[in-house]
Amino acid sequence: MASGPSAVERRNPACPLATLLEHTEGLICLTGAIPFGFLTRHILDTGLRGTARTFLSMLREAFGPEGLYAELTSDGTAGSRRRMRQVEAFARECGVPTLAAHEVTYLSPTDHKLHEVLVAATNLTALPGPEYRPTDRLYLTPLRRWNASFWIGPRLSPTPRRWQSGARER
């Protein structure tokens, strides 16, 4: 009798990078939310920038130059703008366009504490859970407030119109 995924696999679903790279047609790739995205962790750790360049090159080859974007996210914590500037500078240096994104982890600010409990329960840890961020700003934010949180300098590329909420591709 075949067994299903383990409890750990069910709590942490993942797609191996090799599998993803085999199925890129019609997809775009964002490099990952700051500070925990796979590539952004490597960018922010200056000792791992060579590894970040290697992965970025692999992703650019797989997704093409029009299908790869360095994702810039602001979680409202101390250092968030500095981290965004670091990722933006690295992307510019590597010739990868940036895309401002908003990390939505829960629907409203009042859901923050529930989210903390769910993360801890999912990981079978005490509160606060792993990779805890002391922020209650990862909720669905109105566009005008969201736009204001992304001013990091004049080089930030706006979100392409075709990906904005409600916009139609022409």
Q: Strand, helix or coil at 74?
A: coil
Alpha-carbon torsion 148, 90, 26, 16, what sign? negative
Identify the helix (H) or strand (E) that includes residue 70: strand 68-72
pTM score, two decimals?
0.70
Q: Helices marked H in the chain — which ranges? A: 7-11, 17-21, 38-44, 49-63, 80-94, 112-122, 143-148
Separation CA 73–CA 99 (nearest Å) = 9
pLDDT at 167 > cutoff 50: no
User: pLDDT of 7-65, one tens digit each?
Assistant: 666 666 678 888 989 999 999 999 988 888 888 889 888 889 999 999 999 999 999 98
Residues of the chain with CATH 3.20.20.140: 20-104+140-170
DSSP state of 92: H
Q: Is the Cβ–Cβ distance between 73 and 79 less than 8 Å?
A: no
Separation CA 125–CA 11 (nearest Å) = 13
pLDDT at 162 > cutoff 50: no
Q: Strand, helix or coil at 46?
A: helix
Q: Higher confidence at residue 62 or residue 75? A: 62
Average pLDDT score over residue span 116-127: 80
68-72 and 98-100 beta bridge pairing: parallel
- Domain spanning 20-104+140-170 has what CATH number? 3.20.20.140
